[in-house]
Structure 1
Amino acid sequence: MRAELTRERILTAAAHVFAEYGYAAGTTNRIAERARISIGSLYQYFPNKDAILAELLIQHIDRGTWTGANELDLSPGTLEATVRAFVRDAIDNHSDDPQLLRLMIEEAPVSQELLDTVDRHGKLRTAQVRDVILRHPDIRVGDPDVAAEIILLTVEINTHKFMAAPQTIPIETFENELVAMVTRYLRGDQ
């Protein structure tokens, strides 16, 4: 239990240090100092700052499951609300710290564990979206599997890009446009 708390303190400290100083200047010494532990203790948990950043990214991905998918009202006429719930969930999962998100996207080292996490997460999210596509009466798509992949990639990539960049348009405007686009596609609007 104590080891897990120390590990979380290191990750929390690293998130703050990376956001404040950037990745290059976000040294393990600064992380240890922020976590209020010795550098030796930090190295008992992580071999280097690459491993810390990779773990932050893995946690970010694992938190990205569509949490409200099982509580949706899938009755006729609720498609826009369903899409909005999905888009809002993606935005909420990426709203913690835009600087850290950008750093994770651009600089996190690619490990097999990271690739496995991305694959597992992608399969789970795709299955959630596919399930909604198959169950919602207002959805008209040719291939539910392909549609689920398209929806997931469209929402994830656009949300990552939008949330990681300095905001020039309000989040509500971004959300409304993305919801409108995805809803029209799922309804089969021409």
Structure 2
Amino acid sequence: MIGLLRGGLLGPPAIRLDGARVYLRPPQGRDWQEWAELRRDSRAFLTPWEPTWPADALARSAFLRRLRRQTLEWRDDEAYGFLVFDRASDALVGGIGLSNVRRGVAQTGTVGYWVGEAQARRGFTSEATRLVVDFAFHQLGLHRVEAACLPTNAASRGLLEKVGFRYEGYARGYLRIDGAWRDHVLYAVLREDWAG
């Protein structure tokens, strides 16, 4: 899936997932400025739901480190990161990824996403989630896709249920979010249940 780029650096594959309103593709170095601006403008909206941002969270160097890590994760079949774009304008609206890919008897991955504040509640993230789950089942051959969110995140819970995930349980102190270990609600969808 990964090819060598000039200078011997590995790059993400040339893949694009197309939906009716959005398209997804792996991030590229040229995306940094638009990504940083969207994240900066949405910081107060995003930080209650995310791990604590490091001091250099929006720096170009941090973005390029993230790209190198994501490239290795693609190569090693560990995680698949995408940016989400509005098809009508080609504007970046958010990001989505499939991480913690486990093979063997599990054949499972975990979906996570974010969306800019101005783009929230417009259907972009639900369509992106459908595209990534489809990718997980039909291109990666996974059997199960999981998701977790804070119990108070009604928007995320509603999105997961709308897309076809089922509530499976409550995990105490599951992830360190916004500087503290937080409880999460757990959701999953199985390939045999997936309607697409």
Structures share fold, TM-score greater than 0.5: no
Q: What is the TM-score normalised by the length of structure 2?
A: 0.26
If the length of structure 1 is used for normalisation, what is the TM-score?
0.27
Between Structure 1 and Structure 2, the one with more strand by share is 2
Name which structure has the greater RCO, CA cutoff 8 Å, separation 6+: 1
Q: Which has the higher helix share?
A: 1
